[in-house]
Structure 1
Amino acid sequence: MPATKARDIMTAGAECVQAHDNALDAARKMTDLGVGALPICGVNNRLVGVVTDRDIVVSVLGKGLDPAEVEMGTLAQGEAVTIGADDGADEIFSTMTRHKVRRLPVIDGTDLVGMVALADVARALDAPTSGRLIEALSTD
């Protein structure tokens, strides 16, 4: 049986929020899509980061900022952590653990093709390994 790849377990067709979109628009899009994170895309639809519902609460609302005024590009911190579409579950595990993230954009070449979440990779790994992943991401 071939190894599970990111493309096998990801949610395809990830929708971006644009870097110039505001936090209110992003929150509405998350609500409409029923997701807790969105990739942030900039010029030529290139991935510049990921915004989570927690980012909006902590970095916008928690600081008393107006969500209609805060652009998503300002929440993108450094280079986006991604995984390749053909990378295996072990590489996803390693990347999530190393960067302490629960969701990863999946890239095929330079194109965003989906998102893989902690739950997706946990289902693809054996029980002891998925347990280690959850434990690693649950600690500070």
Structure 2
Amino acid sequence: MTTAADIMHPGVRWVPATETLDRAAQLMREMDVGALPVSDPNDPNERMCGIITDRDIVIRCIAAGRDPSRVTAGELCEGTPRWISAEADLSEVLREMETHQIRRLPVIDGNKRVVGVISETDLGRHHLNDKQLAGFVEQVYA
């Protein structure tokens, strides 16, 4: 059985909710990623309180006329973050991503700490055949 831990890209880097968006964008560039989990600095376990994407920064900050050096990652986080257990199987991963139309899914361990992220690229590289990938894309981008 293929699990989320088998699929994920390990070694996720957090950004605290208090971090400015310009610094978050720099981290994304350095790490060549399009999203970062956001940690809650008021939580002693620094659990995830959201996720920000490069698109969030561009559309919801810069294009809105806001200064990314003055807006924090926490200000852009909305709603309940979606995640999946490292032990979840491939069908659970697909269901979560398709149901919520998300392209990046944080993976958590038993202590509810983010240990990786699954992207659509991770799924397409080794885990889905062409027909499954087409169905996934149709659901997520619908």
Range of TM-score over shorter length: over 0.9
Q: Structure 1 residue runs of 4+, over 2 Å off?
A: none
Unaligned runs of at least 5 residues, structure 2: none
Number of residue pairs matched?
A: 137
Map 1:49-128 → 2, pairs under 5 A? 49-109=50-110, 110-122=112-124, 123-128=126-131
Q: Say if 1:89 and 1:125, in contact at 8 Å, map to a contact too.
A: no
Q: Which amino acid aligns with 2:21?
A: A
Partner residue in 2 for 1:47: 48
Deviations 1:4-44 (A, max 9, x none): 11101111110011100010010000001010000001133
Letter in 2 for 1:121: L
TM-score, reference length from structure 1? 0.94
Secondary structure of the structure 2 residue equivalent to 1:94: helix
**TM-score normalised by the chain length of structure 2:** 0.92
DSSP 3-state at the match of 2:114: strand
2:27 corresponds to 1:13: no
* 1:25-72 Cα shifts (integer Å, max 9, x gaps): 100000010100000011332101110000000000010000001011
Determine if contact 1:89/1:121 at 8 Å carries over to the other structure: no
Overall identity of the aligned pairs, in %: 36
Specify the alignment match of 1:36 in structure 2.
34
CA distance in 2, matches of 1:120, 1:25: 26
TM-aligned CA deviation for residue 100 of structure 1: 0.7
Q: Secondary structure of the residue that 1:65 maps to in structure 2?
A: coil
